[in-house]
Chains A and B, each alone.
Chain A
Amino acid sequence: MNRRDVRRDGDRQADNKLNLDPARGEDWMHLDACIKCGACTAQCPVAAVYPLFPGPKSVGPDAERLRLEGIALAPGCLAYCTNCKTCEVTCPSSVRITDMILQVRRQEQEAGTGKAICRLGMRDNLLGRAEYLGRLGTLWPPLANTVLGWKITRRLLEKTLGISARAPLPRYGRKFRTSDIVPLVGETQSYGRGETESYGCVKTDQNRRSAKKVVYFPGCFISYNDEATGQAVVKVLEHNGFEVIVPHFHCCGVPLTANGRFREATANAQHNLGLMQPYLEQGIPVIASCTSCGLALKEDYPRVSAPGAQRIGAQTYDLFEFLWVLHERGELRKDFREVQVSLAYHAPCHLKAQGIGTPSVRILRLIPGVKIQELDAGCCGLSGSFGFKAEKYELALQIGSTLFQRVQEGVKEEAFQAVATECGGCQVQIEHGSGAPSLNPVWVLYQAYGLGISSAIG
């Protein structure tokens, strides 16, 4: 039983016990369950390095009781929560600490009390929209990367928008797309909004008529910054006999939520659920390779009011979680070639929050020649766009300093040559903080299946 199942059971029991009123909205967060042990704050990566952030207990369940009295916290304080969910993973009482914090931010935003300085409001608007930035950046990636590479541009961005000039903004690449677009019957009728491309659906070439189908949710990082990895994911799934369906999803909504754009996040979720619903009804699994997208699909989407919301939680799988399920059923192809590589593995926070362990490590250990060790050195600090913000850039590096140090030591001692991690943000930040190369673990599998040689492994 993984965390998902435990959570749901827990929720159900609590629901019965407390006779919850969902309209009220705070009972499902288990406020009453907090016994003030402080484990969440002890584990919080931000509180550990930033004394002005009072920690998840204080801004979560402690503040919640005062908030019900009508006394709010200073909004600036909440902005230091990176939404990494370490507190929720840690909490022995299943208190939904991050959800509490997000709810306060949402309410402050709706009430107009959380208005940041205009400049930062614009910045958050921009960073929340990784998707639109991505669309822009992928129009002509070399140009975007060149312009963003200029120091003058970065200094301007810092001065005007508060985006740190030193932060490791990911480079744009070719937009992720697979060969052809097949409009899906029924989808346009139910959820048509007149923008044809959005209703289309990409089916990959191979296995077109395979009985085994999966929906792939690539996420913004794959779509705009790292399409090659997206292709590798598709190829690996196809190698296992799946037809991979990639509807034209919008951003999962996590960056929007993290930057206080809650309404837009909900709209995105509704749109994406609309695209997935026909497949969900057929029992087709949804695969996410980005751990934040995956967590959102599993935990946030079921709370959105849209068709498919009841199914999405149980039908979403992290890519390696899915591959491990195949392995346990004896359905994973094991025609592995030897891959001589030594890797360190960093578990992204949102993978930990999914409560599925580290399936990519287990999968990679099936491949002959692969040496992989878990770093277990905490959060990288970037947390999506948190570390891009000028006032938080240094803090983000501080949060990740333990990890970077471990990576540097390991590389120096030749214990490993690169860091594998599923999250694109973590990859960028680890390279920035430690100087060591990073890659998505899917590349190892890709190479083991003989689908190609990955430059990252060498």
Chain B
Amino acid sequence: MGQGLEKGSVRYSVQVVIIGGGATGVGILRDLSLRGISALLIEQGDLAHGTSSRFHGLLHSGARYAVKDPISAAECIQENAILKRIAPNCLVSTGGWFVQMPGDETDYVEAWLQGCQEANIPVREIPVQEALEQEPLLAKDVLRVFEVPDAAVDGFKLVWDNAKSARRHGGRYLTYHRVNEVLRDGERVAGVQGENLLTGEPFTVESLMVVNATGAWADRVAATAGASLDVVCDKGVLLAFNRRLFQRVINRLRSPGDGDIFVPHETITIFGTTSERVDTPLDHQPTDREVQRLLDVGETLLPGIAGKRLIRAFAGVRPLHREDRELTGASGEGEGREVSRTFALIDHEVEEGIKGFLSVVGGKFTTYRLMAEKASDWVAGKLGETAPCRTAEEPLLPALSERLRRKALALLPCAAAEKMLERLGQEAVAVLETIREDPGKGQLLCECEMVTVAEVEKAVADPDAHHLADVRRKTRLGMGTCQGAFCTYRALPLMWREGEKYDPLGRELIRFLNQRWKGIRPILWGEQLRETEFTRAIYAGLLDLQDKGTTTE
């Protein structure tokens, strides 16, 4: 339960309710909070558990959209610069390359260069020889290489840092709360009602405004208020490789298609994606066919790709907004990319005469802040608030002090210290204090990603953590090579100490393993198959978890 809310109360009253705890939702929460507008965000799961974490982790420079979607391109490059300024700890300025391969249309390069220039995206050509020295795994027959300011961004962290920043400014959020209905009072919205999914208790929020930022769920939420939206659910499959294969983002220089982006992300490389229309946001299970398709296409940029160890496959559902006039024409594979990725604000008063109800649809992670700014401008305008947007200037987190860094390096191995500081920022103080008092807690609980016992203990005790997966998103526990083989059982005693919060532990364990399994199943060969059999030996054999519940989420 979010801080600052009266415990046990099931009625809340605020100026604005935001539904949806993805990047857009928390961005709006932070924006409104900085403007002094009281806002409450409601999320049915954990923050960033949906599309905002099921993507490449690519902070676009805009170059990908330079030809087909110049507005998106211009938005991206502006937001790219802003986020590098306000959220340096959530992203790594790896830079990105666009590489032209034999067979890729030559005309496209000219159009692309033109588009980049018009969108003010800085482009620098890299001599092929130099490029191959810097990225030895890149296909040797590459024709041309251009550098753009792409970056790698941590979706979990950016969302949480927005939420924490909002909280410091009075914003509140409730996770594991599902909105069942947007309430109406005549032609105005009056708030929302729903259910606390952890306790089963109903809750009601009274508000002047409701902002629907539920991404792929937006049409369903809008419908509860009697409004209609047309959102296309577009599934994108991604593969996670065991290690960094490239040091920078690698894009294929051609019309955006399947399997043309590699993003180095912390210790791993994420590769994708696909585009396929699905009926429901819940359809995010990668299929064997999609995985195979990605590997086939990826071979062009990374020869021998099929031999590189994969640790998982996952999928996200892009919420694409489709206006009525674009509805004509056949639907099918690849259609998703034809729909504009520029976001839309739908004022349901204009559309259907429902006052105080705004839906934010479409868009992309890179432009979440801009979407939030526009949505917040609309809200502020309706409320008659005049405070300007400050999110483009105000850093998400205070800068890390040099003293803290020195303290971390004194207490932990260098790599573990650096990773913890990246994840926690100033919050690392508490973890370091624990380790100082009890050096045993400086031991690594998750060895793949070098997470200490003390850090996991803190994440487990966090009031916002309700499941081991919530801890995973905060710590990277279970996201490395072993995919939870060792860290899962090691985390259990820490969870046990929290009493009933994680009760029963056995179910929590099985749920977590099944979530990991879901992503491993489509890539079950080679080294990861060995790893998985080993994991099975630990849990099914040593810990006798066989046939005791196979619930999947």
- Selected from A19, A23, A33, A72, the residue in CB contact (under 8 A) with B414 is A72
Q: How far is the CA of A412 from the CA of B415 in the complex (A)?
A: 48
- Beyond A35-B527, A65-B242, A66-B267, is A71–B481 a contact (Cβ under 8 Å)? no
Chain A residues contacting B303 (CB-CB under 8 Å) are 19
Determine the residue in chain A with the shortest Cβ distance to B533.
A35
Q: Is the CB of B415 within 8 A of A54?
A: no
Q: Would you give the shortest CB distance from B540 to chain A, in whole angstroms?
A: 16
Interface hit among A56-64, A186-194, A199-207: A56-64
Q: How far is the CA of A67 from the CA of B247 in the complex (A)?
A: 12
- Selected from A18, A68, A70, the residue in CB contact (under 8 A) with B243 is A68
Interface size class of B (residues with CB under 8 A): 20 to 34
Interface size class of A (residues with CB under 8 A): 20 to 34
Q: Mark B450-461, 1 if CB is under 8 A from A, else 0.
A: 100000000000
Determine the residue in chain A with the shortest Cβ distance to B242.
A32
Determine the residue in chain B with the shortest Cβ distance to A57.
B447
**A3 proximal to B (CB < 8 A):** no
**B530 proximal to A (CB < 8 A):** yes
- Selected from A24, A54, A70, the residue in CB contact (under 8 A) with B444 is A54
Chain B residues contacting A329 (CB-CB under 8 Å) are none
Chain A residues contacting B447 (CB-CB under 8 Å) are 36, 57-58, 62
Chain A residues contacting B243 (CB-CB under 8 Å) are 31-32, 64-65, 68
- Selected from B242, B304, B413, B444, the residue in CB contact (under 8 A) with A73 is B413
Chain A residues contacting B414 (CB-CB under 8 Å) are 71-74, 77
Determine the residue in chain B with the shortest Cβ distance to A66.
B415
Chain A residues contacting B415 (CB-CB under 8 Å) are 63, 66-67, 71-73
In chain A, positions 22-67 with a C-beta closer than 8 Å to chain B are 23-24, 31-38, 54, 57-58, 62-67
**B536 proximal to A (CB < 8 A):** no
Q: Is the CB of A54 within 8 A of B413?
A: yes
**A17 proximal to B (CB < 8 A):** yes
- Selected from A18, A23, A65, the residue in CB contact (under 8 A) with B308 is A18
Q: Is the CB of A65 within 8 A of B480?
A: yes
Determine the residue in chain A with the shortest Cβ distance to B266.
A69
Q: Is the CB of A36 within 8 A of B413?
A: no
**B176 proximal to A (CB < 8 A):** no
- Selected from B264, B304, B419, B530, the residue in CB contact (under 8 A) with A66 is B419
Q: Mark B519-534, 1 if CB is under 8 A from A, else 0.
A: 0000000110011001
Q: Is the CB of A18 within 8 A of B137?
A: no
Q: Would you give the shortest CB distance from B505 to chain A, in whole angstroms?
A: 23
Q: Is the CB of B486 within 8 A of A71?
A: no
If over half of B's interface residues share one DSSP class (helix, strand or loop), that class is named, otherwise mixed; here it is loop
**B307 proximal to A (CB < 8 A):** yes
In chain B, positions 352-389 with a C-beta closer than 8 Å to chain A are none
**B418 proximal to A (CB < 8 A):** yes
Determine the residue in chain A with the shortest Cβ distance to B447.
A62
**A328 proximal to B (CB < 8 A):** no
**A21 proximal to B (CB < 8 A):** yes
Chain B residues contacting A64 (CB-CB under 8 Å) are 243
Chain A residues contacting B534 (CB-CB under 8 Å) are 35, 37
Q: Is the CB of A77 within 8 A of B482?
A: no
Q: Is the CB of B482 within 8 A of A36?
A: yes
Q: How far is the CA of A372 from the CA of B331 in the complex (A)?
A: 81
Q: Would you give the shortest CB distance from A31 to chain B, in whole angstroms?
A: 6
Q: Is the CB of A35 within 8 A of B137?
A: no
**B244 proximal to A (CB < 8 A):** yes
Q: Is the CB of A68 within 8 A of B307?
A: no
Chain B residues contacting A18 (CB-CB under 8 Å) are 304, 307-308
Chain B residues contacting A36 (CB-CB under 8 Å) are 447-448, 481-482, 485-486, 531
**B309 proximal to A (CB < 8 A):** yes
Chain A residues contacting B450 (CB-CB under 8 Å) are 62, 66
Q: Mark B229-259, 1 if CB is under 8 A from A, else 0.
A: 0000000000000111001000000000000
Q: How far is the CA of A72 from the CA of B534 in the complex (A)?
A: 29
**B136 proximal to A (CB < 8 A):** yes
Q: How far is the CA of A38 from the CA of B444 in the complex (A)?
A: 13
Q: Is the CB of A21 within 8 A of B136?
A: yes
Chain B residues contacting A74 (CB-CB under 8 Å) are 409, 413-414
Q: Would you give the shortest CB distance from B223 to chain A, in whole angstroms?
A: 45
Q: How far is the CA of A21 from the CA of B308 in the complex (A)?
A: 12
Q: Is the CB of B307 within 8 A of A33?
A: no
Chain A residues contacting B448 (CB-CB under 8 Å) are 36, 62, 65
Residue of B307, B448, B482 with most chain A CB atoms under a 10 A cut-off:
B307
Q: Would you give the shortest CB distance from B416 to chain A, in whole angstroms?
A: 9
Can you name 10 extra interface pairs (CB under 8 A) apart from A58-B413, A66-B267? A20-B304, A24-B137, A35-B482, A35-B527, A36-B447, A65-B243, A65-B244, A65-B267, A69-B244, A71-B418
Using CB atoms and an 8 Å cutoff, list the residues of chain B in contact with chain A: 136-137, 242-244, 247, 264, 266-267, 303-304, 307-309, 409, 413-415, 418-419, 444, 447-448, 450, 480-482, 485-486, 526-527, 530-531, 534
Q: Which 5 A-B pairs have the closest CB atoms?
A: A19-B304, A32-B309, A18-B307, A65-B267, A36-B482
Listed by A's residue number, 26 A-B pairs whose Cβ atoms lie within 8 Å are: A18-B307, A19-B303, A24-B136, A24-B137, A32-B243, A32-B527, A35-B530, A35-B534, A36-B482, A36-B486, A37-B534, A54-B413, A58-B413, A58-B447, A62-B447, A62-B450, A65-B243, A65-B448, A66-B267, A66-B419, A68-B267, A69-B264, A71-B414, A71-B415, A71-B419, A72-B415
